[in-house]
């Protein structure tokens, strides 16, 4: 690893370069072969939930097109592909009978990836809870955590012979807070107390599933993916600093602390009057059993004022969803997780940006802004590695333009453009750049710093 005279930065030989997606956002085939609705299928059908009124019925039609999609990944040179498994495809009733046809799809996908030389990295839960379980309380019901462990067992027993890293949950923060407190995501509840209950049951689900993975696949690595949004106070005032701390506790420490045996941030639990009644004896031990790898999703930072709300300074570069573009916060985050928590293995499991994607050159989306975003974040990863952070890889979000939850198909995160009329895929300029960086195991830094289009 070196920073040469020509400003070429190179990454370790075994650094993993890949891309990520999730089942609901790309698969389509919403009722194929016995799959039942997930809470997202139902949520999308509720008036006003999704900005463009869309749903995931077809999305990128990936269940039908997975062979072509894997060929495309191989042509870019990706060595790792992170995807998620749809629980209602595998256990349509949420508990009980396994649907072999549902598992067959993932079996074929994994074989296809392996024969293309790509390491499959599945996530067991990326928000598409079976609606049947939603009707029984969803993540407010403790039983859902046990049902998740049974589902995990079914999946790992069938596919575990070909998987090196099992990821339990994607972003429990988003499931709990956007799903149960702000109501922006399925199931759309708006109650703070429910958010605490849901977050604990999610973390418990991670722990219980982790135990099953250890039993069934003792040689596999156990991972969880957490999203982190570093926080800074808008000023040094006591009120701003206190509010920023609180947001840091609820958004970041709430998950990584219990995971590492520190329990839930006590002061913030008190502040919100959470009595922790749902935390039963032994739960925190289950939650804090050691993992092997921490997956990190990083998109933006937050500057917080005394009222706990975002303060985005005028002219701040941001993406089309209004999130500040701030690469250096990724480096800071990696140093914090390494130095304060002592993680020994980290992987960036999501990082990317929705950009305007308006410019074309010879028909190709000329997404110089996304290219710069990816390059600048990789460059932060490179410096963090040089400082001793054990980052093993980088997976861009996302491989494709896809269904962006409450935003529908508006924001485009893909390095590959998807024409939803024809299902044609077209790599953008950022994909070509990424592919060249993968081949060279590094890239040239530009002479002038990036200017992002606000
Ligand atoms: C993350 C999600 C992912 C995608 C990106 C933009 O929170 O894990 O599915 O929506 O945000």
pLDDT by position in tens, the chain (length 454): 544 456 899 999 999 999 999 999 999 999 999 999 999 999 999 999 999 999 999 999 999 999 999 999 999 999 999 999 999 999 999 999 999 999 999 999 999 999 999 999 999 999 999 999 999 999 999 999 999 999 999 999 999 999 999 999 999 999 999 999 999 999 999 999 999 999 999 999 999 999 999 999 999 999 999 999 999 999 999 999 999 999 999 999 999 999 999 999 999 999 999 999 999 999 999 999 999 999 999 999 999 999 999 999 899 999 999 999 999 999 999 999 999 999 999 999 999 999 999 999 999 999 999 999 999 999 999 999 999 999 999 999 999 999 999 999 999 999 999 999 999 999 999 999 999 999 999 999 988 777 665 4
What's the chain's length in residues?
A: 454
Say what the pLDDT of residue 6 is. 61
Q: What is the pLDDT of residue 2?
A: 46
Q: How many CB atoms lie within 10 A of CB 148?
A: 28
Instruction: Kindly give the residue spans of alpha helices, DSSP state H, lying in 272-367.
Output: 283-287, 328-341
Could you tell which of 350, 353, 396, 402 is best to mutate to test the pocket of ligand 1, judged by most ligand atoms within 8 Å of the CB?
350
- Give domain 8-440's CATH architecture: Alpha-Beta Barrel (3.20)
Q: Tell me, what's the pLDDT at 86?
A: 99
Q: Which of 402, 290, 199, 122 is nearest to 191 (CA)?
A: 199
Is 397 touching ligand 1 by the criterion CB < 6 Å? yes
Residue 252: partners with Cβ closer than 8 Å, 6 or more residues away = 228, 229, 230, 231
Task: Report the C-alpha gap between 122 and 83 in whole angstroms.
Answer: 5
Distances (CA, A) of 441 to 11, 297, 431, 433, 438: 6, 22, 15, 12, 5
Bridge partner list, 196 = none
What spacing in Å lies between the alpha carbon of 398 and ligand 1's midpoint? 9
* Angle (nearest 5°) at CA 271 between 269 and 276: 30
CA distance 236 to 414: 38
Contact between residue 454 and residue 440 where contact means Cβ atoms under 8 Å apart: no
Structure tokens at 104: 């067959």
Verify whether ligand 1 is closer than 6 Å to residue 404 (CB atom). yes
What is the spatial distance between Cα 109 and Cα 294, in angstroms, rounded to a whole number? 24
Q: 367 C-alpha to center of ligand 1: Å?
A: 20
Which residues are marked as active site? 171, 350
Mutate to test the pocket of ligand 1, among 404, 406, 407, 410 (most ligand atoms within 8 A of CB): 404
128 closest CA partner among 184, 169, 182, 173: 169
Separation of CA 397 and ligand 1 centre (Å): 8
Distance between alpha carbon 86 and the CA centroid of its chain, in Å?
A: 15
Which residue, by CA, sits nearest to atom 4 of ligand 1? 404
Determine the atom of ligand 1 nearest the C-alpha atom of 227. Answer: 7
Q: What is the 126 CA–ligand 1 centroid distance (Å)?
A: 9
Measured in whole angstroms, the distance separating CA 137 from the mean position of its chain's CA atoms is: 24
Say yes or no: CB of residue 170 within 6 Å of ligand 1: yes
What proportions of the chain, in percent to the nearest 5, are helix, strand and coil? 40, 20, 40
Inter-residue contact 80 to 119 (CB < 8 Å): yes
- Is 419:58 a contact under the CB 8 Å cutoff? no
CA of 238 to the centre of ligand 1 (A): 33
Q: Running DSSP on this structure, what letter comes out for residue 177?
A: I
CB 201 within 8 A of CB 144: yes
* Burial label, 10 (beta-carbon count in 10 A; 0-12, 13-18, 19+): middle
> What's the rounded Cα separation, in Å, for the pair 26 and 290?
32
The ligand 1 atom nearest the CA atom of 171: 8
Element containing residue 319 per DSSP (H, E): none
- Domain boundaries along the sequence of the chain: 8-440
């Amino acid at each position: 690893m070196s920073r040469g005279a020509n400003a070429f930065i190179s990454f370790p030989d075994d650094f993993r370069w890949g891309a990520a997606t999730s089942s609901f956002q790309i698969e389509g085939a919403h009722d194929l072969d016995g799959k039942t609705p997930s809470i997202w299928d139902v949520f999308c059908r509720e008036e006003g939930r999704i900005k463009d009124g869309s749903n995931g019925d077809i999305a990128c039609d990936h269940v039908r097109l997975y062979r072509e999609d894997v060929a495309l990944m191989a042509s870019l040179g990706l060595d790792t592909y992170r995807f998620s498994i749809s629980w209602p495809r595998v256990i349509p009733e949420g508990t009980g009978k396994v649907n072999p046809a549902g598992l067959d799809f993932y079996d074929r996908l994994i074989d296809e990836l392996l024969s293309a030389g790509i390491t499959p990295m599945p996530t067991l839960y990326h928000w598409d809870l079976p609606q049947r379980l939603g009707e029984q309380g969803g993540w407010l019901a403790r039983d859902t955590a046990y049902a998740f462990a049974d589902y995990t067992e079914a999946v790992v027993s069938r596919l575990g012979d070909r998987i090196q890293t099992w990821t339990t949950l994607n972003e429990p923060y988003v499931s709990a807070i956007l799903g149960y407190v702000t109501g922006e995501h399925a199931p759309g509840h708006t109650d703070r107390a429910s958010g605490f209950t849901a977050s604990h049951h999610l973390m418990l689900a991670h722990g219980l599933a982790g135990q099953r993975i250890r039993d069934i696949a003792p040689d596999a690595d156990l991972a969880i993916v957490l999203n982190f949004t570093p926080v800074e106070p808008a000023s040094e005032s006591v009120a701003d600093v206190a509010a920023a701390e609180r947001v840091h506790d609820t958004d970041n420490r709430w998950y990584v602390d219990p995971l590492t045996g520190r329990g839930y941030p006590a002061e913030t639990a008190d502040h919100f009057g959470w009595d922790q009644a749902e935390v039963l004896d032994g739960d925190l031990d289950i939650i804090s059993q050691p993992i092997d790898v921490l997956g990190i999703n990083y998109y933006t930072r937050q500057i917080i004022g005394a009222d706990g709300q975002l303060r985005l300074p005028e002219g701040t570069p941001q993406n089309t969803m209004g999130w500040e573009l701030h690469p250096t916060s990724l480096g800071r985050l990696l140093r914090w997780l390494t130095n304060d928590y002592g993680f020994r293995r980290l992987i960036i499991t999501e990082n990317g940006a929705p950009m305007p994607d308006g410019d074309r050159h010879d028909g190709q989306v000329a997404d110089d802004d996304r290219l710069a975003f990816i390059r600048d974040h990789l460059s932060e990863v490179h410096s963090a590695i040089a400082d001793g952070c054990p980052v093993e890889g980088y997976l861009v979000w996302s491989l494709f333009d896809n269904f962006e939850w409450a935003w529908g198909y508006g924001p485009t995160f893909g390095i590959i453009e998807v024409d939803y009329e024809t299902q044609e895929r077209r790599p953008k300029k950022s994909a070509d750049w990424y592919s060249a960086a993968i081949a060279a195991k590094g890239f040239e830094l530009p002479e002038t710093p990036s200017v992002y289009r606000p």
